[in-house]
């Protein structure tokens, strides 16, 4: 498994996509809607960033994709989490919790200065 870090702008989106895919298999535009509902940034997330991240994660074995169709509308490329992707998500959560703890400590320190 290649755990090479994604490009700077895509770091946080990888963790979010892995988390959403752990919940259920999904396709690009559905993932875009779910990410935008999380309000992770002020502006909507562009679909090209999502597909670039998904392609990079697929190249690294964190997700797999397959085409589905048969119903009305165009075929969709559906992404699924792999065991390596689940492991990568676990690592992301360790890093995110550590970052959260550092931020909380700094905010608590600042709030203590205001008293």
CATH number of 96's domain: 1.10.10.10
Q: Is residue 1 part of a domain?
A: no
Tell me the pTM. 0.81
Helix/strand/coil for 65: strand
Give the residues of the chain that fall short of pLDDT 70: 1-10, 39-42, 70
Number of domains the chain is built from: 1
Q: How far is CA 61 from the centre of its chain?
A: 15
Range of the domain at 56: 8-114
In a domain, 86, yes or no: yes
- Which is it for the CA torsion 14, 38, 23, 29, positive or negative? negative
* pLDDT for the residue 4: 52
List beta partners, residue 87. Answer: none
């Amino acid at each position: 498994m290649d755990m090479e870090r994604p490009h700077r702008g895509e770091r946080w989106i990888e963790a979010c996509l892995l988390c959403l895919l752990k919940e259920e298999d999904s396709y690009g535009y559905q993932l875009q809607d779910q990410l935008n509902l999380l309000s992770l940034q002020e502006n909507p997330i562009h679909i090209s960033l999502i597909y670039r991240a998904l392609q990079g994660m697929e190249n690294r074995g964190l997700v797999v994709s397959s085409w589905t169709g048969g119903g009305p509308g165009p075929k969709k490329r559906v992404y699924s989490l792999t065991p390596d992707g689940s492991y990568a998500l676990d690592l992301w959560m360790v890093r995110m919790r550590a970052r959260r703890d550092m931020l909380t400590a700094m905010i608590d320190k600042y709030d203590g200065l205001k008293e």
